[in-house]
Homo-oligomer: A and B are copies of this chain.
């Protein structure tokens, strides 16, 4: 009753009467002030009741909460709170181009889920940020975010540019980081090597690498096996395999297709299996590709692994579902998600510290490398005796 002199009782108002007489009256709007007026306390006390319970007596708090409930006040408005607190409680995730495609890829999905799980305990939500602008709207510029994860993007995306221009803490996953940002990388190179070493150990001498390159217009054999791939992952993963092939004294042949999708993989598989010099083993960029190769092989009458060995990558759900089950390189999605979440919180606290008065520079953020592990299943076997 003490301050019931208007919707914003606590503020000095110009004293014209008939204030907002009709039409625009925010009748339904319930704010901290509404509750404060009802209980007869200051707005701050109501705010404290909701957000800092230790700042007031339990009795008053109960009373305030009851009044709030009665008025239908749900809690502090997130947008207003975000402005005042300078933190929104959400981190962005940028995924390559079409989100629809991204979530068809079990690897991206699994990582995304793992990240979300790891972030949940911090109370942060995850916002999906489209990599590109559409129709003037640039989510990467206009979305309230505390930080962001950049996942396997081309790197020169609009989104990444805006995000870094906004000086948001950034964590790059499966991608070379911008200077000053943290990164979580898979040990792609070892993965490629392990695949080849496994096959070489089984006696294979004709090993082809099937990888992806979204920069190529046409699928085809790579002219130079040392210059392949369109992004960090495909580049390093393939490089590892090529190195190992050459170290074993063999010739590396790399076939590149546009991406993971069935139609592209099918073309690639057909080209490899139809080659006059057909290999006895194929190292694939992903389980998705491996599944495609296995299926193509069987369709052309080849038995896997008797006539052809195939190695996948990722150990996604597919690897176990497919027959024969795929020999593949397991990446630990949970560990990856955890590492990314950790890097994120790290970057966040570092950013907060910098905003404050302490000029302490904690040094360059770390790059974390997640190991891969060879999982031998049924899609690989000894090289056919007839060959070599």
Measured CB to CB, the residues of A under 8 A from B are 23, 74-75, 77-83, 86, 88-90, 92, 98-104, 106, 109-110, 112-114, 116-117, 120-130, 134-139, 141-145, 162, 165-167, 262, 288, 291, 295, 298, 317-318, 320-323, 334, 337, 357
Is the Cβ of B139 less than 8 Å from the Cβ of A89? yes
8 Å CB contact of A165 from B74, B79, B86, B162: B74
8 Å CB contact of A141 from B74, B117, B124, B323: B74
Is the Cβ of A128 less than 8 Å from the Cβ of B130? no
Number of this chain's copies in the assembly equals 2
Is the Cβ of A100 less than 8 Å from the Cβ of B78? no
27 contacts between A and B (CB under 8 A): A74-B167, A79-B82, A79-B88, A88-B144, A89-B137, A89-B143, A98-B113, A98-B117, A99-B116, A99-B117, A100-B113, A100-B334, A100-B337, A103-B103, A103-B109, A103-B110, A103-B112, A103-B114, A104-B317, A109-B109, A123-B136, A125-B127, A125-B130, A126-B128, A288-B317, A295-B323, A322-B322
Q: A74-B165, A125-B129 are in contact. Are A110 and B104 (CB under 8 A)?
A: yes
8 Å CB contact of A106 from B78, B106, B122, B137: B106
A142 to B125, CA, bound (A): 10
8 Å CB contact of A125 from B74, B112, B128: B128
8 Å CB contact of A120 from B99, B125, B136, B145: B99
Most interface-central of A81, A92, A323 (chain B CB within 10 A): A323
User: What are the 7 tightest A-B residue pairs by CB atom distance, in nearest-first order?
Assistant: A123-B137, A103-B113, A99-B116, A78-B144, A100-B117, A109-B109, A79-B82
Most interface-central of A116, A128, A298 (chain B CB within 10 A): A128
Kindly list chain B residues whose C-beta atoms are within 8 Å of the C-beta of A165: 74
Closest to A87 in B: B79
Kindly list chain B residues whose C-beta atoms are within 8 Å of the C-beta of A90: 90, 127, 143-144
CB distance from A25 to the nearest CB of B (A): 11
Kindly list chain B residues whose C-beta atoms are within 8 Å of the C-beta of A317: 104, 106, 288, 318
